[in-house]
Structure 1
């Protein structure tokens, strides 16, 4: 067991090696726990005269997973504002304000004058 001070004094390579060793040990312990749990379950099932295969349900009797409904793709919003200096630059009025819009407002242009009329 390492103390916090010991861990702090270790180099990056030493810590990475320790981490790899711990991950390997976890895999080993998990496999061992799985084997022990399976043995314990088999023992309990055997007391009732069954095997683990006998009590496991076939895949066909398991409830079917329902498919998630696919969402329709969102339609892009129509532009509401256009840059008076370059009409190809537009903004929907949603989200972050584009730089050209902020610059125009800072120069005193009223937002309504940049509004696109249909």
Structure 2
């Protein structure tokens, strides 16, 4: 196929068609892979969870307790931060607006 022979709208349509076909085939390939994995696990008498290790243990079961929240947004209580790692964007925005970090402390 000579792409130089296509005009812009034809190229866009071709791109959309290719993207749609890639998505369709990705779904198809994932389904085939899943089927093969299940068949192999079954042939050996295992479940997929047995082979892949299942879910990781929750923090409580691993002996570690979750880190407590140290900072909370003054007007949206669903926004919290433990004080570890990078500052969330809402903390950065409030600090840039002149809010003191201690004012956000729980």
TM-score norm. by structure 2 comes to 0.51
Map Cα deviations across residues 4-25 of structure 1 (whole Å, 9 max, x no partner).
Answer: xx20121100000000000000
SS in 1 for 2:57: helix
How far has the Cα of 1:47 moved from its partner?
A: 1.2
How far has the Cα of 1:53 moved from its partner?
A: 4.2
User: Where does residue 57 of structure 2 map in the other structure?
Assistant: 60
User: Where does residue 14 of structure 2 map in the other structure?
Assistant: 18
The change in CA–CA distance for 1:37 and 1:61 in structure 2 (over 3 A counts) is: farther
- The answer on 1:69 being equivalent to 2:85 is yes
How far has the Cα of 1:54 moved from its partner?
A: 4.4
SS in 2 for 1:50: coil
What does 1:95-114 correspond to in 2, within 5 Å?
A: none
Q: Which has the larger radius of gyration?
A: 1
Count how many residue pairs are aligned between Structure 1 and Structure 2.
Answer: 69
